[in-house]
Structure 1
Amino acid sequence: MVVYVDDILIFSPSSDLVKEVMLKLQDKFKCKTLGDVNYYLGLHIEQDVEKRWMRVHQKKYLEALAANFGKSEGHVATPLPSGFKCVKGPAEESVGEEERRRFHSLLGRARNKWTKH
């Protein structure tokens, strides 16, 4: 069960258990069931009840973040090949204050998504 202010999200392999929890909540509080969830607090939720799988992701947020920083068309092969060695490239000009600020913003917004539980 996930609770955020007045929104409750209940997951269970048993629909009977979900119904039981909802009945107990309805005894104490005014609430309603909105059915299956696809989006909750910035999270996209995909599920197949019959196959018993669920995927939670923030793909659209990350795509928007990449587009905001002009990186939506990037294609990177991962992982790097075995034995890959990093080498120092030629010295480049220092980046400007605006570019530095945008880079720090990107790192902060991405880190915010990586570290939330």
Structure 2
Amino acid sequence: MEVITMESDAYKRLVSKIEQIADFVAEAKLPSEEKKEAWLDSNQLADALGISTRTLQRLRDDNLISYSMLRGRCMYKLSEVERCLEERTIRCKPGNLEDFRRNYLNRTGHDKKR
């Protein structure tokens, strides 16, 4: 084992810099730690919006809503659905965006708040 000696002041400065780095890393938000995006499949989304899956398919075909395919299923980001509702691209039974969000979050058990 090798022993390294250093002056007390140099050691204190080194510890201080390490603590600053640790604080910076602890406060930094990594992309994976940011809010996690909720995803809905076609049936969940159609049910939440009070529309048919065929209407949802027409929205996809007309490129009015974006989606991703996952193992043969169309999946929609909740933020994308909210954008479409705000822009009035999608018309649905809930009276406004807050009703939709509240209905969806209550059904799925999500406890996130914006």
TM-score (norm 1): 0.23
Indicate the structure (1 or 2) with the bigger Cα radius of gyration.
2
Structure (1/2) with the larger helix percentage: 2
| Higher RCO, Cα 8 Å, sep 6+ | 2
